Amino acid sequence: GENVEQHPSTLSVQEGDSAVIKCTYSDSASNYFPWYKQELGKRPQLIIDIRSNVGEKKDQRIAVTLNKTAKHFSLHITETQPEDSAVYFCAAKDDYKLSFGAGTTVTVRA
């Protein structure tokens, strides 16, 4: 089955700096890669996703890149703000199953 590894597990950045989270997956059949943000006490919510036929996608301060050959994908947050502080999960979908990484706790220091 699919195995998703996510790094780092914690990330502390100064407000205004960039944050990068990296994930690798094992199943070459995976074709959909969403990223979820979970604020304290709240449900995970989709922030951006990318499909296997696309190498990069951007939405305002958030961007995701995908390298299918190397089986890794990354989340980039630029100009971080305090409201970006949360746990971020990457995921990979093969067939019907969405497998998640262990999460990255991002803290933005004011």
Partner 1 sequence: KAGVTQTPRYLIKTRGQQVTLSCSPISGHRSVSWYQQTPGQGLQFLFEYFSETQRNKGNFPGRFSGRQFSNSRSEMNVSTLELGDSALYLCASRQDGNTEAFFGQGTRLTVV
Query: 72-77 and 19-25: which strand pairing?
Result: antiparallel
Q: How far is the CB of 15 from partner 1 (least distance, A)?
A: 26
Q: Which is nearer to partner 1, 19 or 48 (CB)?
A: 48
Q: Which is nearer to partner 1, 22 or 78 (CB)?
A: 22
- The C-alpha angle 54, 57, 62, rounded to 5 degrees, equals 155
What does the binding site for partner 1 look like in residue numbers (CB under 8 A)?
Answer: 6, 31-32, 34, 36, 42-46, 49, 51, 89, 93, 95-103
Q: How far is the CB of 13 from partner 1 (least distance, A)?
A: 21
Sequential DSSP letters for 35-102? EEEE-TTS--EEEEEEETT-SEEEETTEEEEEETTTTEEEEEE-S--GGG-EEEEEEEEETTEEEE--
Q: How far is the CB of 37 from partner 1 (least distance, A)?
A: 11
Q: Which is nearer to partner 1, 26 or 49 (CB)?
A: 49
